[in-house]
Amino acid sequence: MNYKWDWGILLQEPYFGWIWAGFGWTCAVAILAWMIALSLGSVIGVLRTIPHPLPRAIGTAYVELFRNIPLLVQLFLWYFVVPEVVPREAGMFLKRGLPMPEFWTAVVCLGFYHGARVAEQVRSGIGAIRDGQRQAALAMGLTTTQVYRYVLLPVSYRIIIPPLTSDFLGVFKNSSLALTIGVIELTARSRQIEEYTFQGFEAFAAATVLYSLVTFAVMTLMHVTERRTRIPGMISLEAK
């Protein structure tokens, strides 16, 4: 291969600054989207377990809709289609009124997509608790809200920490798709460095290392959370 390596490019300005700026945007997109995903996913997941047909139907419809459409298609729908189908004023706001419309579109899209996945995990977490617990709690006089708040959710969140970890990692990796609508995050910055200097291999190597670092940090964080919140005697957590 006829390629001239130049690792020094990564330490030169402006490229050094670009990589860090891109990394910052990647984290911003991923963390904000994850916050949406976690809150929305919890609500939808709970809806799917409530013994009443309407909330269940709403929850199921949401999950099926957002889980079954490819993420890239969803991104384009949010970016190109949604502003055109809402009233003109609102559309113009989405397209230009909003500060950084591309950034917020990406955050919302990723948040809704991962929300559907979180919802499924919350639902299965609740489903993993034997029904006796719910019945016992109700028999003690707790309301349905209290049953979820004090009995079902605290246990189910602990059970689903491992699958949630994968999704938290996924949101970081999927945030790179935001470059297709013009968010200049880490992958986009690497491409930009390649375009300016033609040292693409070095730029993408740096991006790979940063993605690995952040996913490693997330894994550590979730592992520590799992250990700290562990309840002795629960079978789903690692046996002591």
Partner 1 sequence: MIRTFRTAFAAAAAFVLAGALPALAQESPTLKKIKAAGEISIGHREASVPFAFMDQAGKPQGYSVDLCLKIVDEVKKELNLPNLKVKFVAINAQTRIPLIANGTIDIECGSTTNNLTRAKQGDFLPVTFITGSKLLVKKGSGIKSLADMNGKRASISSGTTNEKALLAEIEKRKIKVETVMVKDHPQAMLNLESGRVDAYASDDVLLYGMISTAKDPSQWEVVGEFFSYDPYGLMIPRNDSDYRLLATRVIADLMRSGEMEKIYNKWFNPGPTNIKMPISADLKKAFSIQALPY
List residues near partner 1 by CB under 8 A.
1-4, 80, 83-84, 92, 95-96, 101-102, 179-180, 182, 184, 188, 191-192, 194-198, 200-201
Rounded Cα distance between 165 and 3, Å, is: 38
Measured from the CB atom, is 34 or 78 closer to partner 1? Answer: 78
Query: Which 8-state DSSP code applies to residue 143?
Result: -
Place of tokens 């990406």: 106
CB of 200 to partner 1, least distance (A): 6
CB of 32 or CB of 184, closer to partner 1: 184
Question: Cβ closer to partner 1: 180 or 236?
Answer: 180
Minimum distance from CB of 213 to partner 1 (Å)? 24
- CB of 106 closer than 8 Å to CB of 29: yes
> CB neighbours of 238 closer than 8 A, spacing ≥ 6?
230
C-alpha to C-alpha distance for 29 and 74, rounded to whole angstroms: 16
At 143, list the tokens.
């309301």
Kindly state the smallest distance separating residue 173's Cβ from partner 1, in Å: 19
Residue with tokens 């798709």: 177
- Measured from the CB atom, is 29 or 122 closer to partner 1? 29
Least Å distance between CB 225 and partner 1?
Answer: 36
Q: Retrieve residue 156's tokens.
A: 């189910």
User: In the complex, what is the shortest distance from the CB of residue 170 to partner 1, in angstroms, rounded to a whole number?
Assistant: 23
Between 73 and 231, whose beta carbon lies closer to partner 1? 73
Provide φ and ψ at 87, rounded to 5°: -55, 150
